[in-house]
Chains A and B, each alone.
Chain A
């Protein structure tokens, strides 16, 4: 069965520093991958998604993610973090066996001034 692992539960970065959030998946074929963000007290919002083609995907709010098949990873990056990026980030994979998105456990990002 497809699964998603986000190894880092919490990450703290300084404002202006670069960011990389890790996501590893298990899936036999080419996966459909997603990153969602949840701001405090809000629902989730799609940042970006990968289905096929260029392995570097651009999203909203200056985020990008790179699909690496050899490492089964889909890490999220941002070159310069803003205080408003403090939120919880979820990686997800489309689980075609169950017709659903399977979400990772989430990474909570804190931004130091």
Chain B
């Protein structure tokens, strides 16, 4: 099992460009999450999904959109990238509610110039 995978691993964008980050999990998990990690701030939840076709806002959702068209995939979109979105993005999944063990992908390092 690959667990949780993320594509791409690195990306550099110019301000105003758009991109989509892909997260895939092969554990048949219902719950999926997108976090951003910034120095000294730990991880902050951007959006999450409790099942196929459902999404919900987390702590810092502004500037991001998500979609969960298939159970195994969770996409994070940036429609118009800003330098404040320079960060490391982590996807995670769990079989049950937030208190269940979350399994994390290796991360995507995004730089917005």
Contact = CB atoms under 8 A, between A and B. Distances in A.
A43 B107 contact: yes
Contact size range, B? 20 to 34
A49 B97 CA distance: 14
B26 to A, nearest CB: 15
B58 A100 contact: yes
Interface residues of A, number: 22
Contacts of B107: 41-43
B98 A101 contact: yes
- Most chain B beta carbons < 10 A, residue from A4, A43, A51, A105: A43
A27 interface: no
Contact of A105 (B41, B92, B101): B41
5 contacts: A4-B42, A9-B40, A44-B90, A45-B104, A103-B43
Interface of A: 4, 9, 32, 41-46, 49, 51, 90, 92, 94, 98-101, 103-106
